[in-house]
Structure 1
Amino acid sequence: MSANKHSTPIDWVDPDDAPELTEAFFEAADEFKGPLLIKRGRPKADKVLTRITIRLAPEVVEQFKASGPGWQTRMNAALADWLKSHSPGEIP
C-alpha cells in the first residue's frame, strides 16, 4: 500500500537575495488606475477581421509578400477594390 507523501519543503529564500527592481521592470509592469487594470500591448481593433484558410497561386502570394510588411492588408484592399466593380460569382 502506498503511503501519502509529504510535500517537498521549500528552501528558504533570503529576501535580500531578490533581484533589484530596475526601470525596465517598472516599464513592463501592470498599471492600475484605481481598481481598473490598464492593459499593455496592441489595442483591440475596431473592426475584427475573419480568419480563413484560402488557396492562392504561388506567384500571387509571392508578389504581395515581396511588397513588404502589411502584404495581407494590401491583398485585402485589392480584393475589396475588385468587388466594387465585380460580383463574387463573376470569373474574369
Structure 2
Amino acid sequence: MRRKLEDIIAIPADPDDPEDGDVTEAALRQALIERDRRVRGLQLAPTKQQVTLRLDQDVLAKFRGTGPGWQARINAILKAASV
C-alpha cells in the first residue's frame, strides 16, 4: 500500500550530524516521483511460479545472511540438484 505525500511526516535534520539536512517537501515529492518510475511492472511471460516452502530456520538464516538475491541463490542450488 502506497502512502500519500500528505500522510508522510518529514523528520528535521540532526543538528549534530554535518551530513544530515532537512528534507523539503519539494525534495520528498521528487523522490516519490522517481520511486514510482522504478516500480517494475508485470512480466510479459512469467517464467517462475510462486510457492510456499518450509525451510529450517538455520538454512533460511544462512541464505538471508548472504544479502540481496538469496532467493535466486536458493533457486540456482535447487535447479543444480534437480539435474
TM value normalised by structure 1: 0.44
- Larger strand proportion, structure 1 or 2? 1
TM value normalised by structure 2: 0.48
